Amino acid sequence: MSAHSSKPEWTPDDAGDEFAARVLKGVVGGHEELSTQPRSQTGSANRRRQLTVDEHVAGVLAGDRTVLARTITLVESNAPAHFDKAQEVLRRLLPHTGHAIRVGITGAPGAGKSTLIEALGMHLIEQGHKVAVLAIDPTSSLTGGSILGDKTRMERLSREPNAFIRPSPTGGVLGGVARKTRESMLICEAAGFDVTLVETVGAGQSEISVRAMVDFFLLVLIPGAGDELQGVKRGVVELADAIAINKADGDNLIKAKAARAKYNRALHYLTPVTQGWRPRAYTCSAHTGAGVADLWEVVERFTSLTQTSGVFEQRRREQSRDWLHTLVEEQLRAYFYSHPAVRAALPDMEAAVMDGETPAAAAARDLLRLAQGQG
Ligand code: GDP
């Protein structure tokens, strides 16, 4: 496979071209993995033997960062050969997960998410937390580039031993990217990280994916711009447990306070996304740090309230159930569209439907029969 040489050195040995993970420029998490590679003295540069399931599990549970990174690489792999192994590792790690607070953070590009995550992450580390930062970047799978990965981000946080930053997995449709992020989150929890921040930027769908895997969902906005201008849909406001009006510093302070009041009025009329919790807007500055500790206090208040009421645990149970259905749908779709008989028949079926010769429902039924081997 000629593309082999262009793959990052931590690509599993038997990965084919379908192995899409790569290091994004400027993201320190990825570089760190590279730097921890033992430089092989034997000619086959940096090709390491694969870890066994036992080694993956033991290494993650011991908090070994290299093994943690390699285990995430394993679950991110699109190679069918890695799937069973990754699932076995996950199955064994699962009893050690669930003890972290999972926080989703969204907002338009430029709202200050990564700056805020850095400020919040540093604050959490000072408080003795271990913080994992994961990202879902829907643009990376479409364009091959990455809004989240194309600049040096979270420089201070990435140097902290108690922080672990992982760029967005690439390759595949959003559903697949979300699966990898969710599984990476569980692996980080098993490795002892007690706060996970899942960052996303997107226009609706990726926010829904993140909302479905976190306890608390934070929307980051900036003052002085309408929702439309910030690329934030009203539906995303409805998913939020809190809104942070960031960049509340300098000349922006007054505008930020006005935006906070405006959003608090708007939130008042929305049905809260979390039962028993009324979302509110807060101001903060990722630059000066003002309001950042207060934001975390909001998360802690939320956690203690929902844990007491049972809403916290109930949501997690429902998220796991919904996740099962999402995976079934995803795998059914993948099975269907990769089925040789379906692939062979699809172009003619599409043409027949477009030409008005075959009703779409009948074509769908025929294709499903082909996939079931009844064609
Ligand atoms: P992201 O795309 O949402 O991750 O946004 P970034 O964190 O990369 O920030 C975008 C720009 O806004 C950068 O130039 C930051 O320095 C700036 N920025 C972020 N937070 C603040 C803040 O609290 N105050 C001010 N004045 N600028 C900020």
Predicted confidence (pLDDT) per residue in 258-290, tens digit: 999 989 998 888 889 999 999 999 999 999 999
Measured CA to CA, the distance from residue 271 to residue 129 in angstroms comes to 32
What's the confidence (pLDDT) of residue 16?
Answer: 41
Q: How far is the CA of 147 from the centre of ligand 1 (A)?
A: 14
Contact (CB, 8 A) for 180 and 57: no
Relative to beta strand 163-166, strand 216-221 is unpaired
In ligand 1, the atom with minimum distance to the C-alpha of 252 is: 26
Pocket of ligand 1 (CB under 6 A): 107, 109-115, 246-247, 249, 285-287
In ligand 1, the atom with minimum distance to the C-alpha of 199 is: 4
Which amino acid is located at 230 in the chain? Q
Measured CA to CA, the distance from residue 160 to residue 110 in angstroms comes to 24
Which amino acid is located at 265 in the chain? R
Measured CA to CA, the distance from residue 8 to residue 57 in angstroms comes to 23
Q: Which residues pair with residue 216 across a beta bridge?
A: 103
Residue ranges in the chain whose pLDDT is less than 70: 1-47, 138-152, 170-175, 202-204, 225-232, 375
What's the confidence (pLDDT) of residue 175?
Answer: 65
Contact (CB, 8 A) for 66 and 33: yes
Q: How far is the CA of 134 from the centre of ligand 1 (A)?
A: 18
What's the confidence (pLDDT) of residue 3?
Answer: 36
C-alpha distance across the termini of the chain, in Å: 35
Residue to mutate, 24, 106, 114, 115, ligand 1, most ligand atoms under 8 Å from C-beta: 115
Q: How far is the CA of 137 from the centre of ligand 1 (A)?
A: 18
Domains by residue range for the chain, with CATH? 315-371 (1.10.287.130)
Measured CA to CA, the distance from residue 201 to residue 238 in angstroms comes to 16
CA 39 to centroid of chain Cα atoms:
31
Span 64-80, pLDDT tens digits: 999 999 999 999 888 88
Residue keyed to tokens 């975390």: 296
Q: How far is the CA of 109 from the centre of ligand 1 (A)?
A: 9
Measured CA to CA, the distance from residue 97 to residue 185 in angstroms comes to 9
DSSP code for 7: S
DSSP string, 151-194: S---HHHHT-TTEEEEPPP-SS-HHHHHHHHHHHHHHHHHTT--
